[in-house]
Structure 1
């Protein structure tokens, strides 16, 4: 039985994660950590009357008292870094969906996981469809190297561009390299109109109520365009990949960045 604690348990992704673990075969939800509703019954937030787990605001004490196998983290940038460090130093495997970390921070955690021989996974996206989108986009970029990315999320998302958009751009850049696109003499009449620039490709971020998580990769060629799109209609779409990650991380002794490295291995 894999024992799991969820950090950010009262957030939208945290609540979905708790429900998924409770339903999953071979897993046990043993703890919930959040900064809100401290001491309240988790079941009251999930609509499960007989769930006795209490919400804690002390992650370190929770990890030391309950000794879980895995920490699922859906918190926020600025908080997740300390949570990962606490988990690894306590021998708990972090499975992290929180985005907004720099490549330098990820490398630091890679070194920490290796030094402690603790498995860890940081994944910008847990949806299987989004991972396939990235894989297909990288393949298509071999033939259509002119690319722009449009990612659309709900208006409560703190970081831009999304981790998925960055992962997509990295995968495409690995295939085509840094390449200038568009007119060299183009200019912006409103600053930022052309989006962010990553290795010559443009990334555009949309934040509006009504969206969950969506992304288009538009590839242009002579007389044609190719669009690869993925839509997460609900947060349940993340759960099959999340549960896969929880199971896979149990056999790791190092950090993996990107669920695709476990899915397509």
Structure 2
């Protein structure tokens, strides 16, 4: 594919606006459609896009993905609010579509969807480092800090981080983090796969995360800060270029970066 045609959903929003500008400035990509709320998503409105980038809202993002897939486009998703059930429905949709493509005379590569809880390269590295370190520490907790206009909590990034930490701890055979709390559980944050996650909403913040890992006599703190939404654009462009060659569902930008 010599040039990747891109459509952006949520194009009038903060992330959508920056994504449109980044695609227009990038080599090998062309912006063919800008869609926002109330716009119909189909083959006509997507104007032949190879990849659709979704930066809308949690209430509509899953429906947007299914519509884009039905229109024959790959999808990159930056909207949070996904859970196992919604991801599972997208995976099943991809399986059906790609099986039909494989059975036809047209040997078109299978469609792919890449859902990234965070496109910031520093955030992806922080999540990756935390998962690698988690097996060596008795305790692990996550603090995520965002602007007060964010509609979901904990953030998708924090949930993704906690899930990766939990999986690494389970693989290492670690017991749950010690916690003698008997009352006031509401102050201990959300339980995400056995890892406590605390959400802060404060004016002046953009997107920030701290992973706290503790052993007797020592502590490791991994901190990531995104001060401007422009920091997400390199990751968005990586995802757009990668998804066209990754059939099926991919969750997490770390899977298309060389982080082995």
Q: Summarize the alignment of residues 102-121 of structure 1 with structure 2, pairs less than 5 Å apart.
A: 102-117=83-98, 118-121=111-114
Indicate if the aligned counterparts of 1:4 and 1:27 stay in contact, CA closer than 8 A.
Answer: yes
State the match for 1:250 in structure 2.
244
- Asked if residue 75 in structure 1 is aligned to residue 56 in structure 2, the reply is yes
Quote the offset at 1:61 in angstroms: 5.7
Q: Which residue of 2 aligns with 1:97?
A: 78
What is the SS of the residue equivalent to 1:79?
helix
Q: Which residue is 1:147 aligned to?
A: 140
User: Residue by residue, what CA displacement relative to the aligned partner does 1:159-178 show, whole Å, maximum 9, x if unpaired?
Assistant: 11111111111111111128
TM-score by length of 1: 0.87
The alignment's TM-score, normalised by the length of structure 2, stands at 0.89
3-state secondary structure, aligned to 1:192: helix
Could you tell me how far 1:260 is from its partner in structure 2?
0.7
Paired with 2:207 and 2:117, the residues of 1 have a C-alpha distance of 12
Change over 3 Å in CA distance of 1:61–1:93 after alignment to 2? closer
Q: What is the root-mean-square deviation of aligned Cα atoms in Å?
A: 1.6
Aligned twin of 1:206:
200
Matched, 1:219 2:221: no
Cα displacement (A) at 1:185: 4.5
SS in structure 2 of the partner of residue 251 of structure 1:
coil
- CA–CA distance in structure 1, aligned partners of residues 116 and 63 of structure 2: 17
Gaps of 5+ in 2: 99-110
Q: What is residue 180 of structure 1 aligned with on the other side?
A: 176
Deviation digits for residues 71-92 of structure 1, max 9, x if unmatched?
Answer: 0000001110110000111111
Which secondary structure does the structure 2 equivalent of 1:239 belong to? helix
Aligned partners of 2:32 and 2:48 also within 8 Å? no
| Cα distance in 2, alignment partners of residues 9 and 204 from structure 1 | 30
Give the match for residue 229 of structure 1.
223
Matched residue, 1:3: 5
Structure 1, unaligned stretches of length 5 or more? 36-55
CA drift of 1:257 comes to 0.9
In 2, the alpha carbon distance for the partners of 1:87 and 1:58 equals 10
